[in-house]
Amino acid sequence: MKRSQLLDFLRREADLPLPPMLAGMVLSGLCQGLLIALANTGAASAGDGLTMTRLALLIVYLLGLAAWVLSLRRSLKDCFTASEQALERVKTRLATRLLQADLRYIERESASGRFTPISQDTRLVADAVMQGLYGLQSLALFAASGLYMVWKDPITFGLIALVFALAVPQLMRHYQRATAETRLSAEREARFFALFGELVQGFKEVKLHRGRSEAIQAELQSRARSAHAPRHDINRRTVDDLQFSSGILYVLLAALVFVQPSLWPSRSDGIEQGLSIVLSLMGPLTAFATMLPMLARAEAAVGGLYALEAEIEAAVHGRAAEVDAPMAEGPVAADPARPAFEHLGLHGAAFHYTDAAGEVTFRSGPHTLEIRRGELVFIVGGNGAGKSTLLKLLTGLYPPMEGELRRDGQIVDAAARDDWRELFSIVFTDFHLFERLHGLDDVDPAEVRRWLQVMGLERKTGFENGRFTQTALSTGQRKRLAFIVAVLRNKPVCVLDEVAADQDPEFRRRFYRELLPELRTRGTTVIVVSHDDAYFDCADRIVRLQDGRIVADTA
Ligand SMILES: Nc1ncnc2c1ncn2[C@@H]1O[C@H](COP(=O)(O)OP(=O)(O)OP(=O)(O)O)[C@@H](O)[C@H]1O
């Protein structure tokens, strides 16, 4: 039998040792068995009144009860702590590794819904750990009741052992199949949710177009069906298992009540006791059979979380350029008196996109470009010329596949790329607006509100308790807010990708004629992607791109 990934997960990730937890649960199951046995014994002598034997029985019963309460409480509490601890560790590690991965990996995988199952998987593991412990307790209770039977009635015990021998291997076989099928179903479900996410994102477009809506609906249906198929098999087997494990006990009951007295009339006296024990076994065995599918899902979920971690790890280590150093904690301390750089440059730096077959679909570079401190540079060119890709290369989000980045003539290697990225604050065309100004805890709220006023947003959103009170704004307003965030970050270089697009003419004028020069005046190097040729005269320098190459660089 394969090792349990769930147990391995708790053993590796939690600080609390696993054996005492499991032992506690087994003990609680044994105590439960003891209580049933003692109650049975007590019932047999109920007519004797309060004899010394019955008093001793009661005391042992109460001790057993106390042991049951204590062992169950302790191991459940520990188990809860351990599973939350383990999950927290894995989630944190995933997030940390994800931050080290490069943008290409994230772009590719998020599009295919690779990260969708994480939240479901982690919840499932937390729930299943508890269920698993109860399952263990059920087994212990089963074993305890079995032991009691050996003592009271070896023949009935033999029958129960037979039930066990028949039921458990079958349940375990199904359990292992369910683990594999659950993984398959989760992968297919992720594909469903990827498309579902697209549907939500592109709802407006879909809503307006019946043909598209029908095609998406059909595709969603087919993906849902293919995710459902393995789960259907699992559910079918679960029903079979439940019926099998309960049904076999009913057969046992019949054997005990009807067949046994006919074969051994002398044994009819103990039937009631045997009956009550067999009935008490039904609960644990059914609980065990019900819990197995959930455990199987959790096994698959743990496998999925580790597989994702290994994949991110491989993406971090296996990319063309060397690995980035882990992110430094907090912003890199800079000497305020010393400028962060005099020149930032790309030297023969190139990057390309590939399709699923590995064919190059777009090549950016090789570029040789030096940006001087304090410059206001416009990057211009037609749609698809490669302006945004150049920015991603320049800001260190895409590692150069050829050539290098240089800071004041010094080559920026992978280990220094994190510091390099710290030089920039960026507003991309597909920016994400976070509610909070993460990493800007000491920002002066008055300064934020001043900027909201400068950008004409003071009546649209506010800044309270470190967060914007409203981020659901118009496209142009959201861009203005993103611009404010970039400015507040106060980095040496501010990169603005088509921020003036979607703005009204008056704001556009202020952006080019007042805001950009103001940024330059305060010492920020500004790189702007622009299609607004009416304002090209604002730039110190214009870099023109065509088909991924710099075709002109004019001052
Ligand atoms: N994430 C991506 N994956 C694969 N190909 C991409 C990706 N982003 C851009 N491309 C391809 O790279 C080329 C250049 O895109 P890029 O966004 O850099 O151009 P751009 O000059 O910024 O365009 P626009 O002015 O339309 O914003 C495009 O042909 C596009 O197909």
> Per-residue pLDDT tens for 220-249?
999 899 988 888 887 887 788 777 777 877
Contact residues of ligand 1, CB 6 A cut-off: 107, 353, 361-362, 381, 383-389, 429
The whole-number pLDDT of residue 106 equals 82
In the chain, the percentage of residues whose pLDDT exceeds 90 is 27
**Measured between alpha carbons, how far apart are the two ends of the chain, in Å?**
72
The predicted model scores a pTM of 0.68
Asked whether the CA dihedral 106, 112, 114, 117 is positive or negative, the reply is positive
The residue nearest atom 17 of ligand 1, judged by CA position, is 388
As separate numbers, helices (DSSP H) first and strands (DSSP E) second, the chain gives: 16, 12
The whole-number pLDDT of residue 380 equals 96
Which residue of 388, 401, 550 sits with most ligand 1 atoms within 8 Å of its CB, as the best mutation to test the pocket?
388
Mean pLDDT within 433-440:
78
Mean pLDDT within 511-520:
92
> Per-residue pLDDT tens for 253-279?
787 778 777 777 666 666 776 777 777
The residue nearest atom 28 of ligand 1, judged by CA position, is 384
Task: Kindly give the number of the ligand 1 atom that is closest to the alpha carbon of 498.
Answer: 27
Domain spanning 343-554 has what CATH number?
Answer: 3.40.50.300
Q: What angle do CA 172, 176, 179 make, to 5 degrees?
A: 135
Give 197 Cα–ligand 1 centroid separation in angstroms.
Answer: 22
Confidence bin at 318 (pLDDT 50/70/90): low
* Structural domain spans, the chain: 79-317, 343-554
The residue nearest atom 4 of ligand 1, judged by CA position, is 353
Q: What angle do CA 208, 214, 219 make, to 5 degrees?
A: 125
Confidence bin at 122 (pLDDT 50/70/90): confident
Which range, 145-149, 352-356, 542-546, is most confident?
542-546
What tokens does 533 get?
A: 């040729």
Task: Kindly give the number of the ligand 1 atom that is closest to the alpha carbon of 429.
Answer: 27
Give 389 Cα–ligand 1 centroid separation in angstroms.
Answer: 6
Task: Kindly give the number of the ligand 1 atom that is closest to the alpha carbon of 545.
Answer: 21
SS (H, E, C) 282-329: HHHHHHHHHHHHHHHHHHHHHHHHHHHHHHHHHHHHCCCCCCCCCCCC
Give 387 Cα–ligand 1 centroid separation in angstroms.
Answer: 8
β partners of residue 529: 379, 497
Q: Minimal CA–CA distance to 190: which of 87, 123, 118, 94?
A: 118
The whole-number pLDDT of residue 334 equals 47
Confidence bin at 508 (pLDDT 50/70/90): very high
Q: Which residues of 76-113 are buried (b: 16+ CB within 10 A; e: fewer)?
A: bebbeebbeebbeebeeebeebbebbbebbbeebeeeb
Give 335 Cα–ligand 1 centroid separation in angstroms.
Answer: 36
Task: Kindly give the number of the ligand 1 atom that is closest to the alpha carbon of 548.
Answer: 14
The residue nearest atom 9 of ligand 1, judged by CA position, is 389
Task: Kindly give the number of the ligand 1 atom that is closest to the alpha carbon of 389.
Answer: 18
The residue nearest atom 8 of ligand 1, judged by CA position, is 389
Mean pLDDT within 344-365:
92
Mean residue pLDDT of the chain comes to 83
Which residue of 102, 110, 353 sits with most ligand 1 atoms within 8 Å of its CB, as the best mutation to test the pocket?
353
The residue nearest atom 16 of ligand 1, judged by CA position, is 386
From the options 1.10.3720.10, 1.20.120.80, 3.30.465.10, 1.20.1560.10, give the CATH code of 79-317. 1.20.1560.10
The residue nearest atom 30 of ligand 1, judged by CA position, is 384
Give 310 Cα–ligand 1 centroid separation in angstroms.
Answer: 29
The whole-number pLDDT of residue 332 equals 43
The residue nearest atom 5 of ligand 1, judged by CA position, is 353
Which residue of 106, 387, 529 sits with most ligand 1 atoms within 8 Å of its CB, as the best mutation to test the pocket?
387
Q: Which residue has the higher pLDDT, 458 or 44?
A: 458
The residue nearest atom 6 of ligand 1, judged by CA position, is 353
The residue nearest atom 25 of ligand 1, judged by CA position, is 383
Residue with tokens 């047999």: 44
Give 219 Cα–ligand 1 centroid separation in angstroms.
Answer: 27
